[in-house]
Homo-oligomer: A and B are copies of this chain.
Amino acid sequence: MITILRMGHRKDRDHRASMHVALVGRALGADRIIFCGEQDDALVERVNGISRKWGGNFSASYSQSYRKTLRHFKGTKVHLTMYGEPLEKKAGEVRKKRQILVAVGSEKVPRDVYEMCDYNIAATNQPHSEIAALALFLRECKGQKTYAKKFPRAKVRVFPSKNGKCVKSYK
């Protein structure tokens, strides 16, 4: 079970980035996301709406305190940061854990997050994107099979197409 913890969400500035974090988590096999920072019910509802439409069990919720969430989480806590240890070296270890929380920050991440987590992991030590870092982390943890994850009870499904769009809707 993989939980994503999106820290420091700002309602106006991060709506799109936080949505992308959630969608990437869902598409690549995480199980749920907890948003921290400013409360944003519309965002939570939009993510859950995507799950209802596109299938699967991914769910979103809100927590007032990332500290409490980290403290009470029973399992392995991973913080994704460009300052951390190489993803390609650590993925093998993390992959074996059964309960994983992946903490993903927005701009500035408070110091204590680095200490509260069991791993600080970097998908390259270059500046890029928390959305990409999460995608790469899930890819390395789950392997290529994660691309073919099934989403039961979908109302809409896309079928691979060479140069067009093949979308089917189900009642």
Contacts and interface: CB of A to CB of B under 8 A. Distances in A.
Interface of A: 16-17, 20, 23-24, 26-28, 50, 54, 82-88, 114-115, 117, 120, 122-129, 131-132, 134-136, 139-140, 144, 147-149, 151, 157-167
A9 to B, nearest CB: 14
Contacts of A166: 83
A139 B20 CA distance: 19
A127 B165 contact: no
A83 B162 CA distance: 8
27 contacts: A17-B17, A20-B128, A20-B129, A20-B132, A24-B128, A26-B126, A26-B128, A28-B132, A50-B127, A83-B158, A83-B160, A84-B160, A84-B162, A85-B162, A86-B148, A114-B163, A115-B163, A120-B162, A122-B158, A125-B160, A126-B151, A129-B131, A132-B132, A132-B134, A136-B136, A136-B139, A140-B144
A62 to B, nearest CB: 21
Nearest to A127: B23
How many copies of this chain are found per oligomer? 2
Contact of A54 (B86, B114, B127): B127
Nearest to A114: B163
B83 A128 contact: no
A148 B27 contact: no
